[in-house]
């Protein structure tokens, strides 16, 4: 069974792989974005990666960024197809640990409909708001520390 190191991406190589995985999932696979999924939040976001031990390959990513009142937002959770079913929970837990260590009180996310139950199993709850983005239903969720 493969093992993974979960960490904040720091090197240029890690950041490049982080961006490539986001593009592969959100642009190429899901078609949520036309060419690029980057936005203004990337300038302040903490990029978290899951690196496969041995190969050094980045297999999954997530980002989190601060908003007002010490709260944070997580998003762009993406795992390469061959690693799915193994990394999502690890990445979400690492993001939760990272923001909690930075003083976060409430961690928010905009979750695709098919992932709501997954996040509920990790202790997240619905806020009652939903929206459609690029023909995909999303729900606002949060976890309180």
Distance CA 23, CA 35 (A): 8
Tokens of 122: 């990790």
Residue 18 in contact with residue 65, Cβ under 8 Å? Answer: no
CATH code for the domain of 78:
3.40.630.30
**In 3D, which of 136, 114, 111, 137 has the Cα closest to residue 126?**
111
Distance CA 77, CA 61 (A): 6
Residue 41 within a domain: yes
Residue 128 within a domain: no
pTM of the predicted protein model: 0.92
Per-residue confidence (pLDDT) for residue 1, from 0 to 100: 63
Name residues whose C-beta falls within 8 Å of residue 74's C-beta, 6 or more positions apart in sequence.
62, 63, 64, 92, 95, 99, 107, 108, 109
**pLDDT, tens digit only, all 145 positions of the chain:** 679 999 999 999 999 999 999 999 999 988 888 888 999 999 999 999 999 999 999 999 999 999 989 999 999 999 999 999 989 999 999 999 999 999 999 999 999 999 999 999 999 999 988 899 888 899 999 999 9
Q: Helical H runs in 23-125?
A: 88-101, 116-121
Distance CA 25, CA 4 (A): 20
Range of the domain at 47: 4-103
Q: Would you call 10 helix, strand, or coil by DSSP?
A: coil
Residue 80 within a domain: yes
Residue 63 within a domain: yes
Residue 99 within a domain: yes
Residue 125 in contact with residue 101, Cβ under 8 Å? Answer: no
* Overall domain count for the chain: 1
**In 3D, which of 95, 40, 53 has the Cα closest to residue 73?**
95
Task: Quick: pLDDT tens for 114-139.
Answer: 999 999 999 999 998 889 988 889 99
Residue 78 within a domain: yes
């Amino acid at each position: 069974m493969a093992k993974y190191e979960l960490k904040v991406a720091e090197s240029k190589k890690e950041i490049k792989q982080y961006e490539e995985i986001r593009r592969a999932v959100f642009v190429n696979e899901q078609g949520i974005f036309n060419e690029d999924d980057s936005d203004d939040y990337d300038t302040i976001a903490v990029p978290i990666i899951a690196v496969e031990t041995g190969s050094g390959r980045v297999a999954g990513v997530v980002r989190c960024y601060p908003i007002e009142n010490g709260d944070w937002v997580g998003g762009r959770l993406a795992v390469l197809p061959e690693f799915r079913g193994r990394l999502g929970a690890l990445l979400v837990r690492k993001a939760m640990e990272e923001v909690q260590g930075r003083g976060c009180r409430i961690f928010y996310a905009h979750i695709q409909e098919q992932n709501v139950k997954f996040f509920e199993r990790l202790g997240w709850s619905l806020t009652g708001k939903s929206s459609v983005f690029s023909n995909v239903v999303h729900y606002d969720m949060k976890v309180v520390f």
